[in-house]
Amino acid sequence: MSLSLQSPLSSALSSKSSFLQKGGGGGRLRLLSGSPSSNAIFFKLHNPSFPQIRASSLDAGASTELDAVSSLSEIVPDTVVFDDFQKFPPTAATVSSSLLLGICSLPDTIFRSAVDTALADSGCSSLENDVLRLSCFANKALVNVGGDLSKLVPGRVSTEVDARLAYDTHGIIRKVHDLLKSYGEIDVPPERLLFKIPATWQGIEASRLLESEGIQTHLTFVYSFVQAAAAAQAGASVIQIFVGRLRDWSRNHSGDPEIEAALKRGEDPGLALVTKAYNYIHKYGYKSKLMAAAVRNKQDLFSLLGVDYIIAPLKVMQSLKESLTTPDEKYSFVRRLSPHSAAAYSFSEEELIKWDQLSLASAMGPASVELLAAGLDGYVNQAKRVEELFAKIWPPPNV
């Protein structure tokens, strides 16, 4: 489906009465710009094409740095949905607990009806167990928001799976099936959806089983090569690596062999991990798309050109949009990652094993263990805050 966002968002929605009845999304999102995922990310339904070109060979229509880099990777603005729809029109989105909190903090938003409709759901309201009722409300709200966002963007909508299930493979699968069923009830087809799952071993195994059913998954909190390799072997549709968080960890900690090896080579550990994961995926023919998140500046972005998706801060997006493509000596828009370069990359025999739970656990270093735990804690806290808020405002005044 395609929807023009060149006119104001309110006018775009005015013709969608069913959309307004079912709700939408607000708060922080990560969205694909029209020029080409915290995270709402992203993804176009077609496979991106990455011609191997330099800025000097771009046609006359590519007049900014943003145009130039978008020829090489999908650039994903880390944006606020309320302010930036027209500046960087989205092509896809992610819905999460943090997004629900954003909606609830702005009661006048056009998306608030999504939450109110969820809280009025008779099936959830009839549940006598408070925990199950609040969980049901949260799931309905996520789906209502995701369904409405699917009417705004032509690409896929990624839905966060409860991080409290991160170590429960079957719990994750049941949750995804429930969410998928709810999406079906509002006529959102499976091909428009991704399900965002933490990259624990149990999450990776859930991804494998779901992908075997044709359900698209998005594995997040990947901080080590072994996680990325296991996710690729599982067939995850999207694998998300956090560049800046690895860099931050390396500045304040030591003792992680993977990070120390990168530093010894004079490489940034986050950029090195994206490069290695990309090369692994492309050299050995895995279907996964790779997303680089927590990109902090233009040099990070230029160093990753060729990766499937790059999440960029708004200040970086704006700078790219305002800058002409005439490169100075410091920056040239060269594809850094490509299937050709991946073919020449060497991996050790130890890195090419079939990863299982034991080998993954033994190979993950302290950085990936600590950062994964921190990410899970944040997601769990947000999910709890949503349920606590819903407990206070249920039932809504108009029900």
Q: Annotated active-site positions, please? A: 196
Phi, psi of 253 (to 5 degrees): -140, 170
Task: Label residues 33-62 b or e (16+ Cβ within 10 Å = b).
Answer: bbbbbbbbbbbbeeeeebeebebeebeeeb
| 52 and 59 Cβ atoms separated by less than 8 Å | no
What stretches of 106-218 show up as alpha helix (H) in DSSP? 112-119, 122-125, 130-152, 169-185, 201-212
Amino acid (1-letter code) at residue 20: L
SS3 293: strand
| 234 token code pair | 């599982």
Distance CA 338, CA 341 (A): 5
Of all helices (H) and strands (E), which one includes residue 283? helix 269-283
| 282 and 342 Cβ atoms separated by less than 8 Å | yes
CA-derived radius of gyration, the chain: 21
- DSSP strands (E only) in the chain: 28-30, 74-80, 93-95, 157-160, 193-198, 217-222, 238-242, 289-293, 309-313
Phi, psi of 333 (to 5 degrees): -85, 85
Q: Tell me, what DSSP letter sits at residue 339?
A: H
